[in-house]
Structure 1
Amino acid sequence: MSVGLLTAAALCGGLVGAAAPTFARRFTTDRSATARWTVGWAVVGAVVFAGLAAALGPDPALPAYLLVAAFGVVLAVVDLACLRLPDPLVGAAALGGVAGLGVATLAAGTPGRLAVALAGAALSFSGYVLLALLPGARLGFGDVKLAAALGLPLGWLGWPTLGYGLLLPHLLNGVLALALLAARRVRRDTALPFGPALLAGAWLAVLLA
């Protein structure tokens, strides 16, 4: 693993994370919420980008993952602030993933991987639609769209990675909900953002690939 690549990725991620609250303000009226923890988001961005660089190395697909992650950090800020996953941001993440993986396909000459990635996006979308329609489900269609956008890069890495990416968000969200209930920070009927769990689960799935 190149130390230079890791360092460059971490620096880029730190800049993205530091800028994320500023971009997030365009999608929420609670500007005070997005203004908090700028340094914390810079650390999150650095860790996320460095993790992807460590997992993928100098792979032609790495820029696509970093692009999706950049939009993902902004989405996490917005969702934590106001329980929204704006369509323009989700759409930009999806288009960035498609474009980046399309370039990687041309560079590596692996059209089969792109086909699996597209199938992964479709499977993620279908699965989350079914979950959102279940009685008592607290998933919004923003979550469904984000799951589809993340299913593309997860599918690129293969079916096991996609499986981890579909399962881990629910485990992470469940653990967080139990911890908050135990600390009496939330009630059973409190709405919690699911977007950050989707993004964190996808990131962990890539690291496990």
Structure 2
Amino acid sequence: MSAGLVTGVALLGALAGRAAVPLARRFIGLPGGPRAVNSSGALPPGRPGGVAAAAVSGVERPALRHAVPLVGAVVFAGLAVARGTDAALPALLLTATVGLALAVVDLACLRLPDPLVAAVAGAAALGLVPVALAGGTPERLLAALAGAAVSFAGYVLLALLPGARLGFGDVKLAAALGLPLGWLGWPTLGLGLLLPHLLNGVVVLALFAAGRVERDTPLPFGPAILAGAWLAVLLA
């Protein structure tokens, strides 16, 4: 892909990042009545509105509003450089668009709302099915489904381990991202399963060394799952 096209895709990524913040805000709280949401987007019993109000305030910080478009530009440009000749690139970009909003929500309130996770899976399927049919390779859809199943099973086992901090929102997100990762092949899927844990470990160690977190501090894992999948695609 030419430098001009990569730049254009990066600008689209910046626009996607800009749109991610107001989209994320819809799943954190609403004007006049901020509310915290659980993994399905519903109000958990006994959850004080002040928690969601603080999360909404964090999403509205100027630093975050400027950072997310930059991240979007980098994510889109990376995909364009790595997969520029791949007919599945639009599917990957569409999946990344929803992923940006999902990362913002998880960073703000440690939640991965089901509607957004379903949108990640839908974006991947919506983009990959036409590519498979047009290219005469429907078997690749089976590989994508197998990737989702393997990701789901692996993360369920990890979530059920004693002391595990994975939530079932993380499990469902991993399964959704298993669709495009499985489409790209087993080595890519393997990297997509491994890299999130390596990335999260580095971040946790850095935060712990800096005195920003304690051993029992809850931290979002969704951004690591998304970042690991992105890196796996780049390295495929």
TM-score (norm 1): 0.98
Q: 1:154 aligns with which of 159, 173, 181?
A: 181
Hey, what does 2:227 align to over in structure 1? 200
Q: Which of the pair is proportionally richer in helix? A: 1
Task: Answer whether contact 1:60 1:107 (CA < 8 A) is retained.
Answer: no
1:121 corresponds to which letter in structure 2? A
Task: Answer whether contact 1:18 1:42 (CA < 8 A) is retained.
Answer: yes
Task: Answer whether contact 1:105 1:114 (CA < 8 A) is retained.
Answer: yes
1:115 Cα deviation from its structure 2 partner: 1.0
- Residues 90-133 of structure 1 deviation map (CA, whole Å, 9 limit, x = unaligned): 00110111111001102221112211111000000011011101
Task: Answer whether contact 1:131 1:139 (CA < 8 A) is retained.
Answer: yes
Hey, what does 2:216 align to over in structure 1? 189
Aligned positions, number? 209
Name the larger-Rg structure. 2
Hey, what does 2:160 align to over in structure 1? 133
Q: 2:196 aligns with which of 169, 176, 189?
A: 169
Aligned-partner Cα distance in 2 for 1:108–1:9: 23
1:3 Cα deviation from its structure 2 partner: 2.2
Once the two structures are superposed, the pairs formed by residues 1-209 of structure 1 within 5 Å of their partners are 1-28=1-28, 29=52, 30-36=55-61, 37-209=64-236
1:53 corresponds to which letter in structure 2? A
1:165 corresponds to which letter in structure 2? G
Hey, what does 2:42 align to over in structure 1? none
TM-score (norm 2): 0.87
- Residues 16-63 of structure 1 deviation map (CA, whole Å, 9 limit, x = unaligned): 111211111111132111112111111000000111111111322111
